[in-house]
Structure 1
């Protein structure tokens, strides 16, 4: 007689619920901080507005491409999210997950519009700017929330790839709103944070209500779960951080400004990229940590005597 070998499953890591709560609170705190610095302070207003003004220099081919993306964005976001959510829901019968994901997506977009109406106009701090409140970006919220809904619906092994693609889509949308002069960089970052504040708790509910399919073997079990999809946003974010530091250093020292009028634009663009990459990596790590693991089967023991 021999002991049977088994493949035990263990649930979400210890303290996973606390991590989700902390992540949600971090999104709300960062949203408040983004508002107070970029809207209520002179330095924040100057950086934000300068990036918007300097985006004029990017008009032309980039502007036309950005405009086309923004024109198609609402329909494209809804179409992609609807197809994927319906496909996964019908094929895998994840009805509860679909309801939670859609509710969170709608909630994020409604909250964005409410914030636009409730947040006070930009106070005058000596910076020539429109007093109209534009924070958070509605287009960016729509793109990011649609991508997040798909991220929540797919199986854990697909989340690294879907997180990378969805994060890239959201970042491209945010940068497009800046190039097209629809929104300042802080508006885009605020949109990411609003989406995070809704989607993180929604993801925790989905994990708790759908434990049977929230299982994976870790990075490398599938090509969509390769560490490459996490490494790419990390490297992109680091490159963007370097570009932001270089651009702001140039403006602070005045070096090389005679031939460049886009330092704040690149700094603002980098801020959007950094925020998007950070959200992507944090989301993939957080949900990967909370997924149940199929541990390797224990070695076969010697026959019992």
Structure 2
């Protein structure tokens, strides 16, 4: 009788970012959402009124939080630069991932340059009859800096750390954006636009990182490490989609009952809560989607049993 034996054969790792079109389409979706945000809340009367109302109501709805948020905003550039620089230096000097470090720096520079060009050169703020500041402030520079620093860390860490990096980076970005809003530095649409700018460049930069670093972009699956627990992304999905749903309900409700005749004069600051939930929703949804896409597109080593 012929002896039966079992042999385990490794087929080698699947290629990282094996569906690059997904990254490109996701980046295009972010850029499209950015364009829609500008059109809807800067170019239209209804959008300008809602955005301006949220900004003015922030000073009434959250007066006690402005001093702590101001202190945080004062240190935000330093915190962001230190965090990103530490991560980039670590992967450069310790892990020898020079290409990934270069891409991470490029994501930061491209995001912040794009924001400044859009805000100061490309976009303008037309007069739509709403009492508001005449100059354009979309996208937010402070939010872009914070979110791009978090994005740089996200794209250069190994796959098992990316779920945690997505959740923590998303929280940091949302906190920075909410701080600029509550402290009356920016309107909600400015913050959301900044998050979408960074999201666009993160997806494009991540595609390059995964395709040029396939030897370390290998995914062991959810739960292989505490930082790769799926609960990081579940939390982001809950906060993100929940925030978007609440913001949509608030926006529809305030227009259904009729907004105040002038921005910021409503008895109940519904526009403020709409803006805050919109920021939370977009920030965490982007974090969850990026974490899921990068996990799905990381390389895998497939091992199968063969019986001759």
| TM-score, scaled to structure 1 | 0.92
Are 2:141 and 1:134 equivalent residues in the alignment?
Answer: no
- Taking the aligned partners of 1:259 and 1:54, their CA distance within structure 2 comes to 8
**2:15 paired residue among 11, 23, 37:** 11
CA contact (8 A) 1:121 1:131 kept: no
Which residue is 2:96 aligned to? 93
Are 2:294 and 1:287 equivalent residues in the alignment?
Answer: yes
Q: How many residues align structurally? A: 300
CA contact (8 A) 2:244 2:281 kept: yes
Are 2:289 and 1:276 equivalent residues in the alignment?
Answer: no
- Taking the aligned partners of 2:241 and 2:21, their CA distance within structure 1 comes to 28
Aligned-residue offset at 1:243: 2.8
Distance 1:29 1:238, change over 3 A: closer
Unpaired segments of 5 or more residues in structure 2? none
The aligned runs of 1:136-215 (5 Å cut-off) are 136-215=139-218
Q: Deviations over 1:119-169 (max 9, x none)?
A: 343111121101111010000000000000000010001000000000000
CA contact (8 A) 1:34 1:190 kept: yes
Give the secondary structure class of the aligned counterpart of 1:97.
helix
- Taking the aligned partners of 2:141 and 2:244, their CA distance within structure 1 comes to 25
- Taking the aligned partners of 1:259 and 1:130, their CA distance within structure 2 comes to 19
CA contact (8 A) 1:5 1:299 kept: yes
Which residue is 2:128 aligned to? 125
CA contact (8 A) 2:15 2:300 kept: yes
Aligned-residue offset at 1:58: 3.6
Question: Which deviates further from its counterpart, 157-166 or 89-98?
Answer: 89-98
Distance 1:96 1:120, change over 3 A: closer
Aligned-residue offset at 1:264: 0.1
Question: Which deviates further from its counterpart, 111-120 or 97-106?
Answer: 111-120
CA contact (8 A) 1:12 1:289 kept: no
**2:274 paired residue among 267, 287, 294:** 267
- Taking the aligned partners of 1:192 and 1:279, their CA distance within structure 2 comes to 8
Question: Which deviates further from its counterpart, 165-174 or 238-247?
Answer: 238-247
Distance 1:27 1:123, change over 3 A: same
- Taking the aligned partners of 1:123 and 1:86, their CA distance within structure 2 comes to 44
Which residue is 1:54 aligned to? 57
Q: Deviations over 1:43-75 (max 9, x none)?
A: 111111110010011443311111111111000
CA contact (8 A) 1:112 1:191 kept: yes
CA contact (8 A) 1:244 1:271 kept: yes
Are 2:90 and 1:84 equivalent residues in the alignment?
Answer: no
